[in-house]
Structure formats: structure tokens, C-alpha cells
Structure 1
Amino acid sequence: MPFDAASQPLSLPRWRSLSADEGDCRLSLTLEGRPLIQLRLVPGEVLEVHVQAICAERRQQALWAACYWLFARDPACQRLQWHLSDPLAQAQASGLLLATEDAGVYRSERTLFWQLPQPWLGESHDGVYPQQMHISNGKRHPLRAPKPRGEVYRRFDARLGAWVSLRTLEIEHDLERYNRWQNNPRVAHFWQEQGSLEQHREYLSKLEADPHTLTLIGCFDDQPFAYFEAYWAKEDRIAPFYPADDYDRGIHMLVGEENHRGPHKVASWMSALVHYLFLDDPRTQRVVAEPRADNAKMIGYMHDQCFHCEKEFDFPHKRAALMILGRERFFDRCTLV
């Protein structure tokens, strides 16, 4: 959605506030009360960005914040053309700025910007885990990195005006919540995992010990509302049903709090979940899911997020729809704000 000078400041992960003063063809950003960057904008087929003033101590941060603001206020904006006399080597090395054939002219691409892991992943991200092939349970796959603990993803969703974040599930802290959610008739209809606290403790303990599955809690403004399982498809029961690549990730999804249902909330958390999985390892080229084939509402939501249904197939316990979203398609069409 467009932002103007009267709009609420757009908050960013681990920054208290980022606010703007916008007028005809100009933009000034202030970060936490301090001037950050002043721009002259020239609309056209590609938005041209001329830097008039920039905080010398925070140039990389300033360029990133300007890209964020301009891409977030207009999801249709795919490219920025920068006019810079002295670009940062760091900005070019990261992919934030790309050189062109014209001296002093650089561009920023929306598809590249949203693939930069920071600040969305925060301190949980340690880079790409080295590859060594491994065999477990008769399946050959890459050795997986140790599972993270704590918060793994955070982004401010400007459409909702709320933080969307993901953290790892902690059994002692989340068991009762998980038990309540699984025993909700609406959830139980699709998950069929209703049971006692001890049954759910055993279930979660098995997943905690399983290196191919990561259990996550979804939060809006730090309030838990959903449970997700992210798994490596190569080692999962889904692998025999399609040609799984070494770094494909799969997802199981459960919204437990009734006040966080609805298409606008799904668009926020599902895009965040997929975004996290693609950022977590740049070798991940596909995210897959296998909802029940009769779960038309969830399948519809996934279509809205650019998943496509490859086929239907039979698990022992359900008829499933194989839903697939490719990395290129996600970042080409993503409407992250």
C-alpha cells in the first residue's frame, strides 16, 4: 500500500522506527529520529533515484532502508535506478546494487532485495552449511545443519501494521498451547492429531530429535497463533511421490487462534514462512506441501501465494494434493511489504 507523509512510521526489524517525509518527487528518511537519506525521485518506466544527502556513518543502512521503503510502498515496483557518484563496495557485493553500462548508474532489483537474508533472519543466521552427503534410513541426502533455537525470522508487515515472526517451539513453554490447538475440532478434522498432553509431549519430542524436521511457532506482535513444521523433503515420506531435490523444504501448517484466521492473515504468515525457508538456505529451490485434497480453502490460499498443484496422490492416511512453489516464481511475484 502507498505511504505518504501522514502515514504511520514504517517499523523495521531491530530498528525502533523508520519514518518518511515525502513530497512531489522527493523522499527523506529518518531512522530513530536521525536523518538518514534524502532522495530526488524521477518517475518513469523505472523509478530513478538521485541521492542528495546521505548519513556518512550509515551509508549501507541508508541505501538498504531506501530500497525497503520504495519497494514496500509499491509492491508493483520491480526495479530502482540509482544515480550515485560513490557506491559502496559492500552494497554491490551483497547484491543490493548492480552496476550498469553507464558510469555512476546502478540498479536495485526487487527479486534480489528480498533474497538478502538480513535483517529478516537476525542473529540466528550463520550462513550456508557445508554440504556432505549422508545416508539415513536408506535415504541419501545432505547432512543437515544443527537446528536453530529461538527466533529465526521477523518482519514488519505494513499491510497488517503488525510484526510477523517465527520462533522455534519449546516443549515446556508451548506444550499446553499445542495441545489446545490440536484438540480444536476444526484443526483435528485435518490434522487428526488430537490427544492428551503426554501424547503430544511424545510427538513433539520425536520431532525435536529428528534432524529433518523443524517445529516453529508463528506470532503476530509476539503473540503465538500458529504451529508449523518445516521439513527437508528428501528425507520425508513425501519423497517417493515426486523428484525431491536435496534442499527442497516442505511445510505443515496449523492456525490455532480463531482471531488470526482469514485470507489477509494467511497472506502474511504464509509468505513469511516461505520467505524464511528460501532465505535459510539459498540452495533451496522449492517449497512443497501436501494438504488434504479436500481442504479446498487451504489449497485456495496456497494458489493465492503462487503455489501450484502438481497432482493428487494417496498417502496411507489421506488423499493429498502436492503443492509446489519454486524459488524463482516466489521472488518474481512476491508481494512482501
Structure 2
Amino acid sequence: MNHPQGLHRLPLPGSELLAIEVGNSRLCLLRGDQPLAQVVTEEEGGQPLFRLQEVASGQADGAIRAFCYWHFARSPEHQRLAWRLEVPVDRAVRSGLLIPGSAGLFIAERSLFWQLPDPWLRGAQGNGYPQTMVMSANGRRHPLRAPKARGEVYRRFDARLGSWVSLRTLDIELDLERFNRWQNSPRVLEFWQEGGSLEQHRDYLQKLADDPHTLTLIGCFDDEPFAYFEAYWAKEDRIAPFYAADDYDRGIHMLVGEEKHRGPHKVASWLSALAHYLFLDDSRTRKVVAEPRADNARMIGHMQAQGFYREKEFDFPHKRAALMALGREWFFERCELC
């Protein structure tokens, strides 16, 4: 695994590469082969302070964003950066990238930076979808959901892993065979209990495709599929009677199908990416929940390592479940995305 402290080149979604040339108290930012700005490091009151110099025309916001990304990815323990700026930063302030501070300073907060959807969120998102309440056939009242996304929905370079982690929506024709293989593996079968034929799994996936409350996703490392996820709106789900589900809570079911992509370091990457995507997809989502089998100690341990807490145990008709929950505030204030 790569250590972020040695990071000098950081790929961005698309084809761009962020490069940092480090000199004495000065860093040169390049996006692709184009200079963005010089960043000068100073100290004020014993704290590091950053200034922009030689900013490319109209690129102040992009340069600040790029530097914050590099710094927060390189130093997950740092919670904020202080800037003294002589360039217009209205756009950065309006977006939440910068907060006006005292003595003319501007502050970039890690917890706000990772809530900015660009460039991690790909394509449309549910954030701007207006709210109107509807009733499901099962008698549950909930917001009308935005149309489901299609294609790639999330992409980020994991600097610790040295790999791209991405999420795309499941394509039944493309993914049916691998889904069938994964579900019939003894390890997955023990917990999912969804083994079956190709046709049975086609029916299973088609029902979910037709269900507006569930989004089926394929997780990829460097564009290689390795996992299957179901992201559902908790208010319309069978979990709703077992806790006080908020209108925009999301739930997850998780399956790692490829053996070579197992292990705590891989779980830390994909589980944080999955939670990050769901929190970005709609800023009204306050909590992500899951209900693994209560005796699945390994998965529960992985989840707790990523900030989920065990709220309680309860009985579904088919299993004794542990209710695991991850709060939005905790995730963005304590996460170590890089």
C-alpha cells in the first residue's frame, strides 16, 4: 500500500493528473501539463499559512481546490488549512470550499471539502430533486425518489491503496454471470443465502431494477469488478419498522465476490467510497444503515473500523440482524478519505 505522505502525483477522474513540485516553502501545482499556481507556505502564530502566487487566469478556485485535495489526501490527520488570499474567491466561499475567518484569513475544512460532489460524483444526482410525499403499495409514506442513475456514479483515486475505486450501476446482461458466480460461492452463500440458477438471478435482479427504492451497484478497483452492492432507501424498506428511519436514510447490502480483493485495507477503501457516494448523492441523507447477520463478526468489525456503530439487534423473519449505522456528521468530521 502506498503511503500518502510520499504523494506528488494524484490522478483526477477523467484523464487529468494533479502534480506537485515541492521546493523550499513553495509548491508548484500543475493539472496535466498546465501550471495552475504557486502555493507558498508560511507560518503565522505557530500555524502553517498558505498563499497563492502566479495563479493562471481564472483558476484561483481550481488551484485552491487542487491543493486542498492533495494536502488532505497526503495528510488525513489534518482537519483544516488556513489561507491568506489576494485573489477573488467568491465562488469558493459560496460553494463551501472556503470559510471566511478572522484577520482576513480563509479556512478550508476537511469535513466540508469531502462533501463537495465535484469531481467524485459522476453524472446526475438526487440532490436537487424536489420533495413531494407519496404512499407505497405497502402503506409507507416517503418522498418520491429521483429516477435511478445509470452508468458510473462515483470515482476516486485511493492514494493509500494506489488504485481507482469506482461504482457503476449493475447491467443485467453484462453482470449476470459474475453475479451468479459470486452468489453461488460457499463463502457468500453462507450469509446471503441467495444461490440459484442464472434465470433465478436474472429474475432477482430484474425485480430490483423495477423497484424505485433500490439501486444495484458494481464496485470496481482499477475498473475490475469485484463486488456487488444494493443501496436502498430505508423509509420504504423492510428495515423501516425496526428503527426511526429518516426520509433520506440509505441502507446497504454488501458482497465482495472476488477473493483477491478481500482484506481490511480493501474494505476500508470500498466501504468508505460507498458511504461517500451515498452521502454525496443527496445532501439530505443523514445516516447510512446496514443489517448484517448478528453473528457476522468479521463484517461488523470492518464496519465499526469505518465509523459504523452497533445500535441494536433485532429479528427479521430470516435472520437475527445487527443494526449498524453511520452518521453523516461523524463520517465527514472523522473520515480519512485520501
Cross-structure match for 1:227: 228
1:23 Cα offset (Å): 3.0
Cross-structure match for 1:109: 109
Q: Distance in 2 between matches of 1:253 and 1:325?
A: 15
Cross-structure match for 1:67: 68
Cross-structure match for 1:89: 90
Change (3 A) 1:295 1:46: farther
Change (3 A) 1:58 1:323: same
Contact preservation (8 Å) 1:124, 1:151? no
Question: Aligned runs of 1:181-260 on 2, under 5 Å?
Answer: 181-260=182-261
Contact preservation (8 Å) 1:46, 1:79? no
Change (3 A) 1:70 1:195: same
1:24 Cα offset (Å): 3.7
Amino acid of the residue matched to residue 114 of structure 2?
Answer: W
Cross-structure match for 2:133: 133
Percent pairwise identity: 65
Change (3 A) 1:127 1:325: closer
Question: Aligned runs of 1:132-171 on 2, under 5 Å?
Answer: 132-136=132-136, 137-171=138-172
1:102 Cα offset (Å): 2.1
Cross-structure match for 2:14: 14
1:101 Cα offset (Å): 3.0
Q: Distance in 1 between matches of 2:216 and 2:123?
A: 19
- Cα deviation 1:174-209 (Å, max 9, x = unaligned): 000100000010000000000000000000000000
Q: Distance in 1 between matches of 2:132 and 2:268?
A: 35
Gaps of 5+ in 2: none
Q: Distance in 2 between matches of 1:277 and 1:46?
A: 34
Cross-structure match for 1:27: 27
Say which SS state the counterpart of residue 54 (structure 1) adopts.
coil
- Cα deviation 1:237-296 (Å, max 9, x = unaligned): 001110000000000000000010000000000000000000000000000000001110
> What's the TM-score once normalised by structure 2's chain length?
0.96
Say which SS state the counterpart of residue 122 (structure 1) adopts.
coil
Deviates more, 1:50-59 or 1:263-272: 50-59
Contact preservation (8 Å) 1:40, 1:52? yes
Say which SS state the counterpart of residue 154 (structure 1) adopts.
strand
Deviates more, 1:148-157 or 1:123-132: 123-132
Q: Distance in 2 between matches of 1:123 and 1:46?
A: 39
> What's the TM-score once normalised by structure 1's chain length?
0.96
Contact preservation (8 Å) 1:128, 1:282? no
Aligned residues: 334
Gaps of 5+ in 1: none
Cross-structure match for 1:267: 268
1:9 Cα offset (Å): 1.6
Amino acid of the residue matched to residue 123 of structure 2?
Answer: E
Root mean square deviation of aligned Cα? 1.4
Amino acid of the residue matched to residue 109 of structure 1?
Answer: E
Contact preservation (8 Å) 1:229, 1:253? yes
Q: Distance in 2 between matches of 1:23 and 1:294?
A: 53
Q: Distance in 2 between matches of 1:284 and 1:181?
A: 30
Q: Distance in 1 between matches of 2:326 and 2:126?
A: 25
Amino acid of the residue matched to residue 303 of structure 2?
Answer: M
Change (3 A) 1:256 1:153: same
Say which SS state the counterpart of residue 313 (structure 1) adopts.
strand
Q: Distance in 2 between matches of 1:336 and 1:149?
A: 25
Say which SS state the counterpart of residue 56 (structure 1) adopts.
coil
Cross-structure match for 1:56: 57
1:87 Cα offset (Å): 2.8
